[in-house]
């Protein structure tokens, strides 16, 4: 690879996104551009600016790429996106940083050969159902209004963030006001403690509301806590933060810690790794869905193609651009009959709009072969 560029981009959110990790008002994105002789490609790092979701954060991702990951890629002549995971394996962790590099190298490679990312990863459908994730609201009235609006927009599934003090009541009111006819699930982002039987009993009250699943109520390492809850309730447990690799996915399933997995490429170190988790879940009859990290139109394009693999049988956190941004760096993603269309152009199949990118960019760094 001739050159790698690190672009820092600041996208204001249309409304603050509140989770157990705090309130987000802007998405601070690190984009990687790979420049090869034949083509250029783009990748997106999904880290947040604060290490709350996982230990990664945007500034650290830029540092680890500059100091440790980029040199491994710039040194290589015979580089394929398919072996980036292997090439970067001497560096432990930093999965979101690695994924951004895998994306950039793959996009350049696929553009050079004219192949779409969907055909590379194995997409089998041309559209995927859109789901939406709602932050913790200022009031239950506001939540009902927001969720009602999403259902009117055509979203096929709604997820609400929960935390102690904001769980049973908002779910009960949503079901009472908006009915049982829509797919609803909740995400705890690790805000609960499995050590207290009180909290297990409390979460068990969610069984009354026909939820599609409860996502990640406990801390990432607490697989046994999730397994204990799974034995106590009938609502399926889904893991997000806990699953950092194909082998943690296998461990979680073997322990009975979950019956559904949220797959996010950034969390597991790449789209190749995400596909491996998809494959092993498929063999075991375990459904997966595609998670979201407030991606720009670029990361969204990759996720939509990933979600078109055959075992992504549940709607993902795949929303229209306008759910998060008034201005996206690609052509905005829009819902068509509650779905998003799998791109079929070369690479990720979306073009970065140079003028918009430039107006939102805060810095660019150029890394080349020493």
Q: Binding to ligand NPQ by residue 291, rule CB under 6 A?
A: yes
- What phi, psi does 265 have (nearest 5°)? -60, -45
CA dihedral (203, 204, 206, 210) positive or negative? positive
Q: Are 21 and 43 in contact (CB under 8 A)?
A: no
- Closer to ligand NPQ by Cβ: residue 6 or 48: 48
- What phi, psi does 217 have (nearest 5°)? -70, -30
- Joined together, the tokens standing for residue 342 give 């799998």
Which runs of consecutive H residues, i.e. helices, occur in 7-115?
Answer: 58-64, 70-74, 84-87, 95-113
| Choice from 9, 84, 294, 350 touching ligand NPQ (CB under 6 A) | 294
Q: Binding to Mg ion by residue 240, rule CB under 5 A?
A: yes
Q: Which does 99 bind (CB under 5 to 8 A by kind): Mg ion, ligand NPQ, none?
A: none
- Closer to ligand NPQ by Cβ: residue 21 or 166: 21
- Residue span 311-330 as binding mask against ligand NPQ, x where in contact by CB under 6 A, dash where not: ------x-------------
Q: Which of 95, 132, 42, 120 lies closest to 353, judged by CA?
A: 42
Q: Are 298 and 352 in contact (CB under 8 A)?
A: yes
Please state, as a whole number, how many other Cβ atoms lie within 10 Å of the Cβ of residue 354.
9
CB of 237 to Mg ion, least distance (A): 12
Please state, as a whole number, how many other Cβ atoms lie within 10 Å of the Cβ of residue 166.
19
Q: Binding to ligand NPQ by residue 269, rule CB under 6 A?
A: no
Q: Any idea which residue has 């157990």 for tokens?
A: 20
- What phi, psi does 131 have (nearest 5°)? -120, 165
| Choice from 8, 17, 40, 325 touching ligand NPQ (CB under 6 A) | 17
Q: Which of 20, 291, 53 lies closest to 162, judged by CA?
A: 20
- Closer to ligand NPQ by Cβ: residue 116 or 248: 248
Annotated active-site residue 161? The verdict is: yes
Q: Binding to ligand NPQ by residue 289, rule CB under 6 A?
A: no
Annotated active-site residue 98? The verdict is: no
- Residue span 73-112 as binding mask against ligand NPQ, x where in contact by CB under 6 A, dash where not: ----------------------------------------
- Closest residue to Mg ion, based on beta-carbon distance: 240
Please state, as a whole number, how many other Cβ atoms lie within 10 Å of the Cβ of residue 234.
9
| Bridge partners (DSSP) listed for residue 260 | 238, 287
CB of 125 to ligand NPQ, least distance (A): 22
- Closer to ligand NPQ by Cβ: residue 123 or 133: 133
Q: Which does 217 bind (CB under 5 to 8 A by kind): Mg ion, ligand NPQ, none?
A: none
CB of 133 to ligand NPQ, least distance (A): 4
Choose the stretch contacting ligand NPQ; rule: CB under 6 A; options: 18-26, 89-97, 217-225, 335-343: 18-26
Could you say which residues in the range 167-196 bind ligand NPQ, by CB under 6 A?
187, 189
- Closest residue to ligand NPQ, based on beta-carbon distance: 133
- Joined together, the tokens standing for residue 36 give 């090869």
Question: Annotated catalytic residue: which of 33, 98, 159, 264?
Answer: 264
- Provide the total of helices (H) and of strands (E) in the chain, helices listed first: 14, 13
Q: Can you give the C-alpha Rg of the chain in angstroms?
A: 20
Residues marked as catalytic: 161, 264
Binding site for Mg ion (CB under 5 A): 187, 215, 240
Binding site for ligand NPQ (CB under 6 A): 17, 19, 21, 24, 27, 48, 53, 133, 187, 189, 240, 291-294, 317
């Amino acid at each position: 690879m001739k050159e790698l560029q690190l672009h820092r981009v600041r996208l204001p959110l249309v409304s603050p996104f509140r989770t157990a990790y705090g309130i987000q008002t802007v998405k601070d994105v690190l984009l990687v551009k790979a420049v090869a002789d034949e083509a250029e490609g783009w990748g997106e790092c999904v880290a947040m600016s604060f290490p709350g979701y996982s230990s990664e954060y945007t500034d650290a991702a830029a540092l680890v790429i500059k100091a440790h990951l980029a040199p491994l890629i710039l040194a290589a002549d015979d580089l394929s996106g398919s072996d980036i995971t292997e090439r970067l394996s001497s560096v432990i962790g930093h999965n979101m940083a690695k994924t951004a590099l895998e994306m950039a190298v793959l996009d350049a490679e696929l553009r050079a050969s004219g192949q779409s990312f969907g055909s590379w990863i194995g997409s089998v459908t041309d559209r995927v159902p859109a789901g939406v994730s709602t932050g913790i609201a200022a009031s239950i009235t506001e939540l009902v209004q927001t969720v009602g609006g999403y259902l009117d927009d055509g979203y096929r599934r709604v997820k609400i963030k929960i935390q102690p003090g904001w769980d049973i009541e908002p779910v009960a009111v949503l079901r009472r006001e908006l009915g049982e006819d829509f797919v609803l699930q909740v995400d705890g982002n690790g805000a609960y403690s499995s050590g207290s039987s009180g909290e297990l009993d409390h979460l068990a009250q969610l069984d009354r509301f026909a939820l599609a699943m409860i996502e990640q109520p406990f801390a990432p390492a607490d697989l046994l806590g999730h397994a204990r809850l799974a034995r106590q309730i009938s609502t399926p447990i889904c893991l997000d933060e806990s699953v950092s690799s194909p082998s943690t996915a296998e461990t979680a399933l073997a322990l009975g810690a979950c019956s559904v997995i949220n797959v996010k490429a950034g969390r597991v170190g790449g789209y190749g790794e995400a596909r491996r988790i998809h494959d092993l879940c498929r063999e075991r009859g375990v459904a997966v869905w595609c998670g979201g990290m407030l991606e720009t139109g670029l990361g969204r394009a990759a996720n939509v193609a990933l979600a078109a693999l055959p075992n992504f049988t549940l709607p993902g956190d795949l929303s229209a651009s306008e759910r998060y941004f008034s201005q996206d760096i690609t052509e905005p993603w829009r819902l068509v009959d509650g779905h998003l269309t799998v791109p079929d152009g070369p690479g990720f199949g979306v073009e970065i709009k140079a003028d918009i990118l430039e107006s939102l960019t805060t810095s660019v760094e150029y890394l080349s072969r020493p």
